[in-house]
Structure 1
Amino acid sequence: MTVVVVLVAAVGAALLLARPWEDVPPAMRPVVAPDVVHSVSVDFGIVTDPDTDWAAIDRHLDAVGANGVDLNAGRVEFTAYDWPAHPEAAAEPGTDHLSRAARALHEDADGTPREIGLIVDAYVPEWIKADPSIAGVSADGRRSPYRASASQLATGEVGDRLVEYVTDLGERYDPSRIAVTELFLNHYSFGDDDLALYREMTGADDWPRDADGQIDDDDPALGTWRSEVLAGLLARMRAGLDEVRDGQGEQIELAMDVRVDWDDPAAGVPSSGHDYAILLQSADRLVVWAYVGSQDHTPADVEGATGALQAAGFDMSRFTMSVGLWAGSADADPPQSIAPALMAETVEAAGTHGVTDVNVTPLSHLSEAHWATLARVWGTAAPSASRGPAG
């Protein structure tokens, strides 16, 4: 009898230590989606830090009335959970950081479900180090240290693995949305493989060139082609999500982060492959980088952008305005944040002209002063959930 008691106690202690229930994904997508979404994005480093105080973050989200949170799931080469197809990519083998974070954050203090989204970073720096041939190439022959080539995204292994990753996240977690970030094609899309793809897709014999015979990087044909390459990748992701969970994955939104042309916001940034009209043929939602501190823009510019999108006839329910907190370079050391007052003005400007989805990013830049200010902007109660079935 004594031996049995000791064994039971030992098993109980081991379970408490391992806490395996935390690795079981909770519901991430509310049955009823909110009319208005106020969300905060959580950096990959915070998601995967075993010392992250998720209870404290949950209290902050409650205080500001955030009814959504986006968790960075990492890259195809460095993931926040054990991806069965590529276990070598796990940041911490044996630990599902996304489930643990979502379990702590998926409900507010009143038990109302939050929308939990996942973020996929499209950069592949380690893969490029191992195989430089997959990298995008500039017009003068330089290889990108972070970005895959257009042909890799369209028909290569990198694009295939991104589709596979997005699909696996949808199958495992059933999030409210999956957003792909750092997906650009400016500058690094001129390798021989990309030229072959350009010829195949456009029927042209060569890159657009100026009067001096140099590649014309500003030619509209390039912007259209780049946007169509990315839209094709998104279409494959969308098709993959549609098939997960016996078809229920079609309710998971597919989003993509996009840059802004502040002089002509409705045009998108085709030179980066971000022609909004083309991308929205495949993506459900675009996450617009309403970054003021890192790009020397103002809240008035942000409101001007939302107004331009509405005036152009876009469905504003398909846009998230993401307010970035970086001041100066995003790579500054130590990192710098915009002032809480500027954040507040920008958040208010972001929710204009029909925008119903506003995001603040990243959580690591939210000081206590930022949290307190955001609570005054968003209020202390999450917006009501009454938009109808999600998706």
Structure 2
Amino acid sequence: MAVALLAAVAAAVLVARPWQDVPPAMRPAEPPEEERSVSVDFGVVTDPATDWAAVDRHLDAAGANGVDLNAGRVEFTAFDWPAHPEAAAEPGADHLARAARALHEAADGTTRQVGLIVDAYVPAWIAADPSVAGVSADGTTAKYQASASQLDHGAVGDRLVEYVAALGERYDPSQIAVTELFLNRYSFGDDDLDLYREMTGADDWPRDAGGAIDEDAPELGAWRSQVLAGLLGRMRTALDAVRGGDGEQIQLAMDVRVDWDDPAAGAASSGHDYQILLRAADRLVVWAYVGPQDRSPADVERLTAALEAAGFGMSRFTMSVGLWAGSADADPPQAIPPALMAETVRAAGTHGVEDVNVTPYSHLTAGHWSALRSAWGEAPAPSASP
């Protein structure tokens, strides 16, 4: 009887493996002067079949000293979030800890910077409660984006703040970056108009000569950016309080679009005025994507030059080189050629930029890894593909 009991306990421990739920160090004692990182998609992070040893070999071979793991959305998480257990992609599994254990240490013994990514989309929440959705000027309801008022003082914004704090408390990453956070088309609901009036003192939306809402009015761009900066400020305050105050060391970042006609200004129509956002965020992850809008590496270098000329602290920007060719929703997905990626990576690291990122991991072929090695410095080829 005792033998059977001991066997049952041993089997339960082997299944649970509680010590594996303790994440490793994700922040090196001395951050690198220049960070070269790769972002890993949520689907790869949560796939039980992902060969993390192979991912690690590729990062080593490419000379990547950082990696960013997509932690998911507030409604679909890569671990068991005690406050909202129903959101777990796979109950009982901590996919972020599993990935970080495999990737936090580089082949030379140094600690890689491990960051986390939070996706701000809430499609399931909107499907269950359409009142939280953003609304366009023509009355169309968003499928993915919450309204400005929700982000400013509603349940969605509160949940995003709560999630960022939970990630900071649990994992102590080098950085938490918020992505898919836009306020352009879907920011014209009645509740948003009330917020706009309150924040600006205006009586109505800006309108053109014909009486239609002027969706690209500069004052709207400034207002949207202030709304997002307010949300980032609440996230920063929440992070500062975690881990007995040590959360102050966790960088808070936000993904931003580019206005290629005025690169240093940011895409204000999306709520991405760089000057305003940098009042709240520690850094901005700039979408230096050449594929979707048929841009070139020369355009990317023009972007970095414009930021430098505008007097920005270049250490506050990460240039993110996206591999998407054409639409990000293409099926099957298409990636830009390896040579174009390498040339863009080199262009992204100009004019004082210290941090360059490549995204997403799932689009990196053997040819891309080889080209990335050449862009970031030659290193031995990995022994196996991911």
Query: Is the 8 Å Cα contact of residues 373 and 379 (structure 2) preserved in structure 1?
Result: no
RMSD: 1.4
SS of the residue 1:265 aligns to: coil
Aligned twin of 1:60? 58
SS of the residue 1:331 aligns to: coil
Q: Which runs of 4+ in 1 moved over 4 A?
A: 6-14
Q: 1:39 aligns with which of 37, 40, 45?
A: 37
Q: Distance in 2 between matches of 1:110 and 1:272?
A: 41
Q: Work out whether 1:178 is the aligned partner of 2:176.
A: yes
Aligned twin of 2:104? 106
Shift of 1:257: 0.1
Q: Distance in 1 between matches of 2:106 and 2:28?
A: 12
Q: Work out whether 1:216 is the aligned partner of 2:209.
A: no
Q: Distance in 1 between matches of 2:158 and 2:5?
A: 48
Matching of residues 144-155 of structure 1 within 5 Å: 144-155=142-153
Shift of 1:16: 4.0
Q: Work out whether 1:357 is the aligned partner of 2:341.
A: no
Shift of 1:31: 1.2
Matching of residues 220-259 of structure 1 within 5 Å: 220-259=218-257
Q: Distance in 1 between matches of 2:282 and 2:379?
A: 27
Report the AA paired with residue 45 of structure 2: V
Q: Distance in 2 between matches of 1:168 and 1:297?
A: 38
SS of the residue 1:169 aligns to: helix
Aligned twin of 1:336? 334
Query: Is the 8 Å Cα contact of residues 23 and 97 (structure 1) preserved in structure 2?
Result: no
Structure-1-length-normalised TM-score:
0.95
Q: 1:130 aligns with which of 117, 128, 131?
A: 128
Q: Distance in 1 between matches of 2:60 and 2:136?
A: 46
Aligned twin of 1:388? none
Aligned twin of 1:72? 70
Aligned twin of 1:306? 304
Shift of 1:303: 0.4
Shift of 1:10: 5.5
Shift of 1:380: 4.5
Structure 2 segments unaligned to the other structure (5+ residues):
381-386
Structure 1 segments unaligned to the other structure (5+ residues):
383-391
Aligned twin of 1:297? 295
Query: Is the 8 Å Cα contact of residues 256 and 272 (structure 2) preserved in structure 1?
Result: yes
SS of the residue 2:142 aligns to: strand
Q: Distance in 1 between matches of 2:143 and 2:159?
A: 18
* Percentage of pairs with the same residue: 78
Q: Work out whether 1:48 is the aligned partner of 2:46.
A: yes
Shift of 1:18: 4.1
SS of the residue 1:261 aligns to: coil
Q: Distance in 2 between matches of 1:261 and 1:92?
A: 38
Q: Distance in 1 between matches of 2:16 and 2:53?
A: 18
Aligned twin of 1:267? 265
Report the AA paired with residue 259 of structure 1: R
Q: 1:321 aligns with which of 316, 319, 325?
A: 319
Query: Is the 8 Å Cα contact of residues 41 and 362 (structure 1) preserved in structure 2?
Result: yes
Q: Work out whether 1:371 is the aligned partner of 2:369.
A: yes
Aligned twin of 1:387? none
Query: Is the 8 Å Cα contact of residues 319 and 357 (structure 2) preserved in structure 1?
Result: yes
Report the AA paired with residue 344 of structure 2: T
Aligned twin of 1:389? none
Shift of 1:376: 1.3
Q: Distance in 2 between matches of 1:195 and 1:291?
A: 33
Q: Distance in 2 between matches of 1:241 and 1:218?
A: 33
Structure number with higher relative contact order (C-alpha < 8 Å, ≥ 6 residues apart): 1
Matching of residues 90-101 of structure 1 within 5 Å: 90-101=88-99
Shift of 1:33: 0.6
Q: Distance in 1 between matches of 2:16 and 2:245?
A: 33
Aligned twin of 2:384? none
**May I ask how many residue pairs the two structures share in their alignment?**
380
Q: Distance in 2 between matches of 1:34 and 1:8?
A: 48
Report the AA paired with residue 311 of structure 1: A
Aligned twin of 1:385? none
Q: Distance in 1 between matches of 2:236 and 2:210?
A: 42
